[in-house]
Structure formats: structure tokens, C-alpha cells
Amino acid sequence: MKKIILAVAFLATFLVSNAQDKPSKVKFGVKGGLNLSSVILEEEYDATSSSKTGIHLGLFTNIPMGKKFAFQPELLFSMQGANQKVDYEYRLIEADNRLNYLSVPLNFQFFVVKKVFIEAGPYFDFLLSAKGDVVVKNNYINDTSTIVENGKNLKDYYKPVVFGVNFGGGYHINDKISVNARYYMGLSPSDSSAFSYTYETLSTKNRLFQLGVGYTF
């Protein structure tokens, strides 16, 4: 992962230092909006997952790199997670997992026309907290007990850092306000085992659709 971070930092530095005919100065702003998050289940269990809604909020810097290109790093608080259900060895496990990340997308933008752009780049998510409401139902012949844990701290079961790629596009309504849509695709597993406290091998990768509004100072 360190090599990836260094490669992205080197590429951004090189492009910015070699940019010519910058159309404007470096800009700073704030942004926020809606998250629709889910996970991809990696193992072959009878498992399903449904999406959760959340928000994102943070800061961005837009660095022009010529008339058509820009580099935009961001620092966002991002609410993610998923609802999961798994049938495993006579147990039905249901979990409403809520994850909070410090998200760092590093996007390169290309302006198709003056106000419309497409963008893509890597991102890194740093886990801030992970909690869940967990229900475990035993289906043995002589045991139909149910275990319920609300607000269970799951941080120890999730990776502290995950990374992936994101891509999307946006539109500048005016010099101050812009809107954008993105899709985030996790490339590294987000947890050591989504239900590690009940069994050992289920792994997931994050997925996120994001709608945002930005304000440039």
C-alpha cells in the first residue's frame, strides 16, 4: 500500500509541477452529500447483503493542471456499512453494521466541456469506528435460543485501512457551486471476517455510491 501512495503522490506532484497555462489558481472548498453503501461478499456461504444510507462531509482542494485537467484531493468523513444476513451451520446471523471512515479520494479531473467534468482516481479509507446490531438465532433441534447484541463494537473485526478506486463526473453550476456523482469500488478486504465472533472465513469488500454538492471559497 505504501508503494501505491508514493506512486500517486509522485504522479500528482509531477503533473502539477509540469502544468502549463493554468486557467485559474488553486481553489479550496467544502462538500457534502448522500452515501449509499453496500458490500460484496467474498465467500460461498448462503449470505445476502443490502445497502445502507449515510452522509459524507469534508474539505477539498482543486489544483488546475492546464485548461482541461485538474487534480482534486479530498478529506471526508464518510458513513458507510451494510445490512447482512448469513445462514451458517444451523445459525441465522443478521447484522446491521455501521462504519465511519476518514476517506481520502485523490481524483484527476478532465473537463469535457467548460463546466462538465469526469473524474477518477484511487482512494484510501481510514476506519474511525465500527458498530453493529447483531442477532444470532440457533436452529439446532434442542436449541432455539437467540442472542441479541445492540451497539456491539466491531472495530477489532475490521481492517484499519482499505483502498480502492473511484470514478464519476460532475457539473459546475457556477463559480462557487458544483455537483457530482461517484462510485467507489473497494479493492482490499474491509474486514478480517465480517462475523468473526461467530465464524471465521467470511470476507467483504466495500462498495459506495455517492452524490455530493461542493462549495468553493
Q: Is residue 142 part of a domain?
A: no
Q: Is residue 146 part of a domain?
A: no
**pLDDT of the residue at 194:** 45
Residue type, 31: K
Residue 16 grid cell: 502539477
Please report where in the chains the cell 461542493 appears, as a residue: 214
- CA–CA separation, 165 vs 140, rounded Å? 43
- CA–CA separation, 217 vs 161, rounded Å? 31
- CA–CA separation, 33 vs 23, rounded Å? 28
pTM of the model: 0.84
pLDDT along the chain (217 residues), means of 10: 52 51 78 95 72 96 93 98 81 87 98 96 97 83 73 88 97 96 95 54 85 97
CATH number, domain with residue 204: 2.40.160.20
Residue pair 215/30 in contact by the 8 Å Cβ criterion: yes
Please classify residue 143 by burial: count the beta carbons closer than 10 Å to its beta carbon, then call 0-12 exposed, 13-18 middle and 19+ buried: exposed
Q: Is residue 174 part of a domain?
A: yes
Please report where in the chains the cell 445497502 appears, as a residue: 51
Q: Is residue 148 part of a domain?
A: no
Q: What is the 3-state secondary structure (H, E, C) of 26-47?
A: CEEEEEEEEEEEEEEECCCCEE
- CA–CA separation, 70 vs 180, rounded Å? 15
Q: Give the closest residue to 159 by CA, choosing from 186, 189, 185.
A: 189
Residue pair 162/190 in contact by the 8 Å Cβ criterion: yes
Q: Is residue 136 part of a domain?
A: no
Q: Is residue 161 part of a domain?
A: yes
Q: Where are the beta strands (DSSP E) in 7-90?
A: 27-41, 46-50, 52-64, 69-88
Rounded to 5 degrees, what angle do the CA atoms 82, 88, 93 make? 40
Q: Is residue 133 part of a domain?
A: no
Q: Is residue 192 part of a domain?
A: yes
Residue 18 grid cell: 509540469
- CA–CA separation, 73 vs 61, rounded Å? 6
Residue ranges making up the domain that contains 33: 2-82+97-125+154-216
**pLDDT of the residue at 86:** 80
Total number of domains constituting the chain:
1
Residue 38 grid cell: 453496500
